[in-house]
Amino acid sequence: MEPLILASSSPRRKELLQLLQIPFLVIVSDVDETLPNHISPEEAVTNLALLKASAVSSTNPGSCVIGADTVVVSGSRILGKPADRQEAKEMLLSLSGRKHQVLTGVCIKNHEKEKIFYERTEVTFWDLTEDQIDSYLDTGEPFDKAGAYGIQGFGSLLVKEIHGDYFAVVGLPVSRLSRELQNFL
């Protein structure tokens, strides 16, 4: 079997991929994640997953590379990682008391083919007071996460309901990925 590489700097993705019980290396790509205007969220996560996998695949042509990208979609807005506390607060205020979607795109790629897919999970937040949002921001958790929250951490307390794959919200739909990998290899 080709060596497996996870093209991600995310400790969550590394931990989740370990659930598959296949050996792999982590090699981080340096990809510009700026999204073009008017791109759909589905295109955004699949394009970025492909970009991340391709960057690592080009220097490791004998390997099978996995790239992934997660965004939060609230109404017509695509929320990535907040730039600062102010933006994180705005994101959380906009998610309060509402349903949003989390999209995670995944790309599996080797030198001759690629498989790209995405998972969509619907998440509903409780109504949040400004005080609740401020104390959540104080945990420091929001800043490296799409939509400014982590469902796996203190952010779990913000979530009223979830429909779909929990692990896709955390950053990697492991169960689907395991099946796609079996078909790919």
Residues forming contacts to ligand TTP in the complex (CB under 6 A) are 8-10, 12-13, 28, 33, 52, 68-70, 72, 81, 102, 144-147, 149-152, 155, 169-171
Burial of 117 (0-12, 13-18, 19+ CB in 10 A): middle
For ligand TTP, the closer of residues 110 and 149 by Cβ is: 149
Catalytic residue positions, numbered = 69
**Paired sense of beta strands 64-74 and 25-26, if any:** unpaired
For ligand TTP, the closer of residues 162 and 180 by Cβ is: 162
60-72 burial: b if 16+ Cβ within 10 Å, else e: beebbbbbbbbbb
For ligand TTP, the closer of residues 112 and 153 by Cβ is: 153
Neighbours of 182 (CB within 10 A): 9
Torsion of CA 122, 128, 134, 139, to 10 degrees: -50
Closest approach of ligand TTP to the CB of residue 80, in Å? 7
Cα separation, 119 vs 166, in Å, equals: 10
Closest approach of ligand TTP to the CB of residue 164, in Å? 12
Closest approach of ligand TTP to the CB of residue 156, in Å? 9
Closest approach of ligand TTP to the CB of residue 182, in Å? 22
For ligand TTP, the closer of residues 50 and 102 by Cβ is: 102
Cα separation, 134 vs 168, in Å, equals: 26
Q: Are 92 and 141 in contact (CB under 8 A)?
A: no
